[in-house]
Every structure is written in C-alpha cells, then in structure tokens.
Chains A and B, each alone.
Chain A
Amino acid sequence: MSMTSQTPPSSGGQSLRQWLLSDTPTSRRQARLSALYQGWLALRQNHMAMVGLAILVVLISIALFAPLIAPHDPFVQDLANRLQPLGSEGHLLGTDSLGRDILSRLIYGARITLYIVALVALIAPVVGLLVGTISGYAGGWTDVILMRITDIFLAFPRLVLALAFVAALGAGIENAVLAISLTAWPPYARMARAETLTIRSSDYISAIRLQGAGPLRIIIKHIWPLCISSLIVRVTLDMAGIILAAAGLGFLGLGAQPPSPEWGAMISEGRRFILDHWWVATMPGLAIFAVSLAFNLLGDGLRDVLDPKDSAS
C-alpha cells in the first residue's frame, strides 16, 4: 500500500480502516491509532472479553439513566409491604426489610459502584506509577526509602489497613475509596519500578537524556507511556477486587452509609433473612458477581492483547 496520507481520510479515496491498518504509518499519530485499532480487532476475537465489555456498557447506561429506568424511588419505605418475594406485583425483585424496591435500589447502587471503581482506578494506579517510576529512575537512597515504604504497606493485612483507615476517618464512600486506594497502590508501584528499571538503561532513554531532557520530563513523557499498557491490564483485572473490597467494607458497615443502596451494604442488610427471604441478599450478590466477572473477562481479554507474555502463540 503506497497511498498514505497524513490525516485520517475523509469520505472517498481510502477507507478509515485501510488507513488504520496501514503497514507503513507516516505519522506518529497514525502509528498509535493503528496499534490501538489492531488491538481492538484482536480483542473483538475474544468473545468472552466482549461479553464483559457488553455487561459494562449496560451497567454504565443503567447508572446514567437510573432515574428513568428505576420503577420506584429507591429510598421510599413501606413497612406494610416488606420482604415481598421475587416477581411480586410492582416489585420484580421483591422488597427489602423496610419495604424498599430491591430492583430500584440495585439500579441506583450501580452508580455507587461505578463511582467507587472510577475513583480508585484514578487514584491507586497514578500513585503507584508515580512512586514506582521515581523510585526506579532515581535509584539510590530515594529508591531504598520509597521501596521500604511500599514494603510496609504490602506487608500490612489489606482489609485491616482499609478498616483502620475508615475507622480513623469515619465511615462513608469517599473514605472507603481512599482506604481501598491506600491498600491498592503498592503492587502498581512495584510493577512500574520494575518496568522503569528495564527502560532506564535503554539507549533510547540515554539518547533523550543526552539531548538535555530533565528527569521529570523523561519520566512523564517517555517512561510513563511505556508503563501504561501493562498498568491498564492490571487495573482492569484489579477492578473486581476493588468492587469486592468496597462491598466487603459495606458488608462490615464501614462503606456507604444507610440508606445508600450500596450493594455490599445491601447484602449485609439482607443476610439476616437469608434462610427465609434469600433473594434480599442474593440479588445484590449476583449484581456484584456480574460486574466483577465483566471486569475480569475484559481484563483477561486485554491481557491477551496487550501483554506480550500471553500473546505469544
């Protein structure tokens, strides 16, 4: 293919697809987009990953349009109408101990789950990346100190650290997010450090250094981008763990506070009825399961595409 252009083609001439699949990209942007597109094509081959993606898309739309979809107000109580079974009139998934509609609560709870996931996914990997790359690039005492701190956090029992943090700051979603991030960053830091160590001594970085680039610029502009792909895979695979940790905190009463329809808290509320009204705890359990599974399927697929270890065939 010799006919290439600098910009994405408009209609006619060459198709977008051809441009993206070009073997000889003419610009950096084209090369990047092309790599992304090829990755997407590979991912599309992975049916399970697509199932995961589909579930997540559904989840996001549910969360966005919660007020339109939810049949009831998730907070309105009706003590006379409590613990209704599945499929009862007006309450597809029944009602909870205070007579609130479980389906509506699940739908609104999707917002909380996404909120938690998004925040943790923003905080933990960024902190880890920062600590890891600085540690790896700077070396020496900086490295020793930062890695020792990382070890301390790694050696801490995770849920206990989170619990302590929440207990110290008070229960609530924001604090739960911070607590989970606090326990989640050290593995990212280790990973980023390991990658930085291999990149640091490469000719490519030496060349840039010779051109007079400062350490900060090198880390941000040249090392970070190289760490990102493995980081994304790791984050996606960790999502499920984050959701479960948040639910665990909710289950222990230290996450979202009542009457918030957080899924873990809903299980915790419903577990008292598990013998006679099993659906009260089971429905949020299934919701957590479905979303975690979706993240795992997607992450697993992404790893196949992005992680060179696995993609060998």
Chain B
Amino acid sequence: MKTIRTLFGSAALGLALGVTPIAGMAETPANMLVIANRIDDITTLDPAQSFEFAGADVIRNIYGKLVNFDPANLDAGYQPDLAESWTVSEDGRTITFTMREGVTFQSGNPVRAEDAAFSLKRAVILNKTPSFIITQFGFTPENVDETITVDGNTLSITTDKRYATSFVLNCLTATIGSILDEKTVMANEVDGDMGNQWLATNSAGSGPFTLASWKPKESVTLTANPGFYGGEPAMKRVIVRHVQESATQRLMLERGDVDVARDLTPSDVEGMEGVEGVEVVREMRGRLMYVSFNQKHPELSKPQVRQALKYLIDYEGMENSFLKNWYVGHQNFLPKTYLGSVDENPFSLDIEKAKALLAEAGVEGMELTVGVREAQERLEIAQSLQNTFAQAGITLNLEVGTGKQILGKYRARELDIYLGAWGPDYPDPHTNAGTFAYNPDNSDEAQATGLLAWRNSWDTGGLTEKVAAAVVEGDTEKRAEMYHDIQAQFRETAPFAVMFQLIEQAGVAEEVEGLSLGAAITAASYWNVTK
C-alpha cells in the first residue's frame, strides 16, 4: 500500500507543478451550463424515433412543438407554442391550429403550417416505436393526406373518433410532436428515409438551442439559438457529459467541474448535505417501479397468490433505507399529479396474512425466478424481495442481465416475475392505463408485446373495456372518476404490484437558477437557466 502511495505521490507531484493551476480553476464559465448525467441510452436524436429519457431531454431543448409546457409553470398544463391558438370542430374530431407568425427555424427558414403537417405525417409514415402516440388517433400512412391538412396559416388534424381534446393535445407535447424544418430535413434525405439517418445526429428545429455535437456515451453539446422567438437563452452553451457513477458525478459537482449532477444515489445526496455551494433539487418524476407476475404460471394465476405476494414486499423498509428520498411509496399505476391519480396504498409487509392467503390457495413453498436488469437499486429491491418471499417459504431466484436481455424474455412472456420500471410517454392517464390495464387480445398470437398486461398474460378481467371508455370521455371530472374506479379494481386483482414512484434528486450548484427537470409530465429544460 505504502509503496503505491509513494509511487503515485512522486508521479503526481511531478505533474502537480504543471497541472495545479488548471485543476484549481475549477469553475464553469458563467454563460455555460454543464450537466453530468447518464446519457448512454441515446441511440438517435430524430424526434420521430427517439424514445429514451436522455434523448427526450435533448430534443425538448432543440425543437418547438404545437403546444408545449412552460418550464416556469408546469402545473399550468400545455400552452401555445408554435401554434398560437386552436379551435375544435363541433363533432370534436377536428382540431385546427393557427400558427404563430414570424417564427423561424434555426436554419432561418420560416416555421409554416406545412412544416407542422410534414412533421406529424413523417412520424406516422416512418412508423418508429413512439409513433403509436400519434397513430392511436387513427392516422395511417394511407390517410394522413386527408386527415392532416394545411390551409394557409392553419393546420387541421382529424381523428377517427371523438377524444378528449386534452388527451390529443397532451400527446402532441411528447417528443414525437416536435416540429421539424421540412426543407432542411428533406435536403438531407437518403434513400427515401425522410432524413431519419441525418436527424439521428443533426438538428433542424426552432427551439432555444441547436445541437452542436453528440458523441455517443461521451457528451451532447448544445449552443444557444440567437433567433429563438422566446428570446436567446442566457446559457450560450449547454454540455451534458456522460458520467456513469454517482460518486464521480458528486466529486465533479463538489469540485465545481459541473453545475448539475443528475444521477446521485441517496447516500451521495446525504453525504452532500452541508457542502458549501451545492444544493439538492427534488422533483417528483413519472417513473414507477413495479413487479409483475406472469399469469401463465399456474400458481401465480391464483388470485390469492397474487394478493399474498403483494403482502410480501417490504415497501416501507426499502423506502426508508436504500431508496430513501429517491423513490416514494406509490401503489397505483397513475403517477401522482396525473389526472385521476389516487393516493391509496393499502399494501404493506404482512408475512402472516400472506402465509394465510398462500395456504388458502393451497400453495406450499415454490420456486420462482425474477428477471432484473443490471442496475444497483433494482438488484437491491430484488434481494429484499428474495428476503421477504423466503419468510413465506417462496424461493426467489434472480436472473440478472442487461436491459435488452431481460426485456427480450419479458416480451416473450417467459419470465415468472419481472421487476421493472415504467415511465409515462405523454402526460395523460391513458399512457399508463393503456398498457397496465388494457389487453384486448390475450392470445400468444396477438403478439401485443408493447402492452404490459399482455406481457404478463393477463386478460385484465374487464378493465380493457373500462379503459377504452375512459379515453373517449369528454368530461374531465367524470373521466377522473373512471380512472379512480379502474385503479381500485387494478390494485386488488392485477398481477402487478406497483411499489414506488421516482423522485429525481439532482445536485445543483447554488448559483444555477431556473432549471426544470420536467416533473412527471415532460423532460428537462435549460432555456430559463441563469447563473
């Protein structure tokens, strides 16, 4: 040990002479925002294809949308952005947007209704994974020319049925609703890909920032758009650097090398308390942590067994220890702050009750396998489950793998139990209702791999119809009521134990003001940040 120290000591000492001034000047420039974050999930920055958290953060700061959330007031819901106003037709199927005048793209081209139409049609035609957010309103590559139309400065979209207007507009705030510069994008088209390949690494938006570079697993650099219609952002450059480890992020923040650290574990947040110049920002996000039980398993399909397992989870113990201030107990599929969300959390660890239920079902000890993604907090939750399940005579084996490995099995309905997370795709209750409690065809042939209920082979016991009814209900209060009802039944009968909702804890240098992480409804925004 000692020898290494001396060795490194002498090596470092020699260098320190030349290096110290740099290391000492540890402060980021006043017009530059530097963020440490895990961004290795970005695989493309094309808004019609991107579907990851880090990608959503980047795209929200580059592209304008028809309607958008104001980072200074997220509670206000969607607000006019590139569309100045809109009207709804009498039958409720057609929404007509009037475009804001005088707005230009970063290329200098004006933002026209044609660009908006192009962007939505493009999303439908490309048919990438997130396209369902738009196509669920009945748009198909065949009918987009009739259903999405332009008249002078207005854009009209016609849905196949009458939906709650708020539902449609909320969907347009998602990443896929970004408005692209048609001329720039089509100038870069290759083999009829509508610019898909070019947009993966370039930007053509009208938002507050332009993409300067994206180096995979390394960094994303944004530069301010001086022509932004909302005023040029104070931060001339925003750099998001990929830093994998929480401890490293914290070191960088404490040393002043970054302004924001976004993936801090509870222990690092705790350890940072009292450190000068750094504060912790907490925002409730939309992501839920849940376990689900495959209904193909003969024992797990028994209602008592499902109930019993829900009593075998140490919700409180986890929330107060390794998940402290990071995940908060939440046992419903609609995240807090969503329309129709409820705060009922009836389950808690109760070994005796679980044993009784298991006995009632005639189950005496069994062996189950849970699929877990390789991530430390999930491994800990899994080990806690292992521990409490064992107390009722259930052996729980862990199958750990990379996200893709485990996900592949989950989608193929091959796992007994899955421990996973789910984040809403757009800020409307249907985003989660439509996957947790909706499964019109439970057969293997249906291959509805996108639906969580299908992945767990659950026929939803009548919830499918209720969810379908709720989504077309125009009256907001009535609609909320319907979701309360659905969730009550879901909690008791579903093969899902929703356990926690995420609270994002970001360490932020104290001079940074105006940073919004997006709460439960959208992604982060940097354009209001000042230092």
Interface residues of A (CB under 8 A from B): 75, 77, 79-80, 82-83, 97-99, 167, 170-171, 253, 257-259, 268-269, 271-277
Contact = CB atoms under 8 A, between A and B. Distances in A.
A77 B400 contact: no
Given A79-B320, A258-B379, A272 B268 contact: yes
Contact of B384 (A79, A269, A272, A277): A79
Contacts of B317: 79-80
B247 A272 contact: yes
Nearest to B376: A272
Contact of B405 (A75, A83, A167): A167
Given A171-B400, A257-B398, A77 B247 contact: no
Contacts of B376: 268-269, 272
B270 A77 contact: no
B6 interface: no
B348 interface: no
B398 A83 contact: no
Contacts of A276: 267-268, 270-271
Contacts of B245: 271-272
A269 B399 CA distance: 17
In order of increasing CB-CB distance, the 4 nearest A-B pairs are A276-B271, A79-B321, A253-B374, A79-B317
Nearest to B377: A272
B267 A272 contact: yes
B384 A259 contact: no
Given A79-B384, A98-B384, A259-B386, A275 B271 contact: yes
Contacts of B265: 272
B383 interface: yes
Nearest to B318: A79
Nearest to A274: B247
A79 B245 CA distance: 23
Given A77-B387, A79-B320, A271-B247, A97 B380 contact: yes
A274 to B, nearest CB: 5
A83 B387 CA distance: 18
B516 interface: no
Interface string B250-293: 11000000000000010110110000000000000000000000
| Residue among B268, B321, B382 facing the most chain A CB atoms (10 A cut-off) | B321
Interface in B356-402: 374, 376, 379-380, 382-384, 386-387, 398-402
Given A275-B247, A276-B271, A79 B314 contact: yes
Given A79-B317, A98-B322, A277 B398 contact: no
A293 B274 CA distance: 40
B394 to A, nearest CB: 15
B351 to A, nearest CB: 14
- The majority secondary structure among interface residues of chain A is loop
B525 interface: no
Contact of A272 (B246, B251, B382, B387): B246
Contacts of A253: 374, 379, 400
A271 B314 CA distance: 24
Interface residues of B, number: 31
A273 B402 CA distance: 22
Contacts of A257: 398-400
Nearest to B319: A79
Contacts of A77: 383-384, 387
A28 to B, nearest CB: 46
A246 B247 CA distance: 24
B250 A275 contact: yes
A276 B314 CA distance: 26
Contacts of A82: 321-322
A273 to B, nearest CB: 5
Given A79-B314, A98-B322, A272-B376, A171 B383 contact: no
Contact of A258 (B246, B267, B320, B400): B400
A271 B402 CA distance: 19
Nearest to A280: B267
Nearest to A76: B387
Contact of B251 (A75, A258, A275): A275
Interface in B226-262: 245-247, 250-251
Nearest to A253: B374
Contacts of B398: 257-259
Contacts of A275: 247, 250-251, 268, 271
B381 to A, nearest CB: 10
| Residue among B314, B374, B379, B382 facing the most chain A CB atoms (10 A cut-off) | B379
A253 B309 CA distance: 27
A150 to B, nearest CB: 30
21 contacts: A77-B383, A79-B320, A79-B322, A82-B322, A97-B380, A167-B405, A170-B399, A171-B400, A171-B401, A253-B379, A257-B400, A258-B398, A259-B383, A272-B246, A272-B268, A274-B247, A275-B247, A275-B251, A275-B268, A276-B267, A276-B268
Contacts of B384: 77, 79, 98
Contacts of A99: 321
| Residue among A80, A258, A269 facing the most chain B CB atoms (10 A cut-off) | A258
A277 B322 contact: no
A273 B384 CA distance: 19
Nearest to A81: B321
A77 B386 CA distance: 10
A176 B146 CA distance: 58
Contacts of A272: 245-247, 265, 267-268, 376
Contacts of B379: 253, 258, 269
Contacts of B247: 271-272, 274-275
Nearest to A277: B267
A253 B400 CA distance: 8
B383 A98 contact: yes
A276 B272 CA distance: 9
Contacts of A97: 322, 380
Contacts of B318: 79
Contacts of A83: 267
Contacts of B374: 253
Interface string B201-228: 0000000000000000000000000000
B369 to A, nearest CB: 11
A244 to B, nearest CB: 16
Contacts of A80: 317, 321
A98 B400 contact: no
A258 B382 contact: yes
A253 B399 CA distance: 11
A259 B380 CA distance: 9
Nearest to A100: B383
B410 to A, nearest CB: 15
A81 to B, nearest CB: 10
A79 B321 CA distance: 6
Contacts of B251: 275
A36 B321 CA distance: 57
A171 B250 CA distance: 31
A275 B322 CA distance: 16
A268 B374 CA distance: 11
